[in-house]
Chain A
Amino acid sequence: GENVEQHPSTLSVQEGDSAVIKCTYSDSASNYFPWYKQELGKRPQLIIDIRSNVGEKKDQRIAVTLNKTAKHFSLHITETQPEDSAVYFCAASRGRGSQGNLIFGKGTKLSVKP
């Protein structure tokens, strides 16, 4: 089955710097890759996603890139702010049928220091 590895497990940056979180997946049939942000004690919330027919997607300060050949995808946050501090999870899915459930990485705890 699918396996998703996420690095780093913790990341500390200064406010205004960029943060990059990387994930690799094992199932070449995976075609949907969402990123979730989970603040302390809150539910995970989707921040951005990408499908395998696209190499990059951007939404304001957040961007995701996908390399299907290498089977890895990354989250980029620019001009980080203290409110970006949270745990970020990547996930992968085949996107259909009984094998469409999300397989999550173990998360990255991002701390943005003012």
Chain B
Amino acid sequence: GAGVSQSPSNKVTEKGKDVELRCDPISGHTALYWYRQSLGQGLEFLIYFQGNSAPDKSGLPSDRFSAERTGGSVSTLTIQRTQQEDSAVYLCASSLQRAGETQYFGPGTRLLVL
């Protein structure tokens, strides 16, 4: 079946603009995660969804970052008033039912803030 997909694959924006990043998890996966990976760095956890609720938002770096998930499927990560330090690859992952199971990653969205 289809894997995790993300769009856009690349996004270039100007400082101060808002951006929306989209994640389509594997069909039937109820758990969804967002991570951020800066160039040459590890994966930084941002937020975790179980169904439509987000029991763990602890990784969101500031109140400019928000995420939602509707219908237990697609998720959108929104960054308001983007800053240059927001430039990174944003990775989405999903797992079948709950945390602690194998996470399957999407290809990521490469965000560049000029």
Does the CB pair A46–B99 fall under 8 Å? no
A45's nearest neighbour on chain B, judged by CB, is B105
- Smallest beta-carbon distance A44→chain B, Å: 5
Does the CB pair B45–A95 fall under 8 Å? no
Does the CB pair A102–B103 fall under 8 Å? yes
Is B42 an interface position by the 8 A CB rule? yes
How many residues of chain B get a CB closer than 8 Å to chain A's CBs?
24
Tell me the bound Cα distance from A60 to B108 in angstroms: 29
Tell me the bound Cα distance from A55 to B91 in angstroms: 30
- Smallest beta-carbon distance B67→chain A, Å: 13
- Which listed residue, A43, A89, A101, touches B42 by the CB 8 Å rule? A89
Q: Digitize A78-107: 1 where CB-to-B-CB distance is under 8 Å, 0 elsewhere.
A: 000000000001000111111111111111
User: B43 to chain A: which residues have CB within 8 Å?
Assistant: 44, 89, 102, 104
- Chain A contact residues, CB within 8 Å of chain B: 1, 31-32, 34, 36, 42-46, 49, 89, 93-107
Other A-B pairs beyond A97-B99, A98-B56, A104-B45, 7, CB < 8 Å: A34-B103, A43-B106, A96-B99, A96-B100, A98-B48, A100-B100, A107-B41
